[in-house]
Amino acid sequence: MAFCNQCGVPIADGATICAACAARTQAPPPYQQVPAQGATQGSTQGMSDNVAGMIAYITIIPAIIFLIVDPYNRNRFIRFHAWQCIFFNLAWWALWFVLRVIVHVPFFGWLTLLIWPLVGLGGFIAWLILVLKAYQGQMFKLPVIGDMAEKQANAM
């Protein structure tokens, strides 16, 4: 239902003259398509930036794909999270390798058995925080890895 521009009285659809004040009303604007509700500015072909940043953390494979595929590799936010995922995975694998070597040292091997569950839980919590922060649209940086990822994201 349309309203009169002069007096505010409701007028019939398609009418150009108000029945209450006899003022001419403007023609209604042409129909405009409204963008999809989930789309944000800077979204990349149907997937919003925060979802793509979150998916980059699922495994290392989407992170590599986002760095290669054209619409995603131009977005700094997605590049940052993809690089941070790659560096986080590399650091994670290096930490596990070091723990696997230390486990063979006679006395330290027994001590690492107590550390393994804590390291695993800490890594899972860090990964979960990274996923949630990316979904919230934040560029949350890990202490050393985040700076390296930011440098790589800005280099492209």
Across the chain, the runs of DSSP E, i.e. the strands, are: 2-3, 10-11
Residue 35 pLDDT level (bands cut at 50, 70, 90): very low
Residue 32 pLDDT level (bands cut at 50, 70, 90): very low
Is 85 a member of any domain?
A: yes
Is 34 a member of any domain?
A: no
Confidence (pLDDT) at 45: 53
Q: What is the pLDDT of residues 98-137, one digit of tens each?
A: 888 888 888 877 888 888 889 999 999 999 999 999 999 8
Q: What is the pLDDT of residues 37-67, one digit of tens each?
A: 444 444 445 688 889 999 999 989 999 999 9
CA distance 7 to 19: 10
Is 40 a member of any domain?
A: no
Range of the domain at 5: 1-29
Q: 148 burial class (0-12, 13-18, 19+ CB within 10 angstroms)?
A: middle
Count of domains in the chain? 2
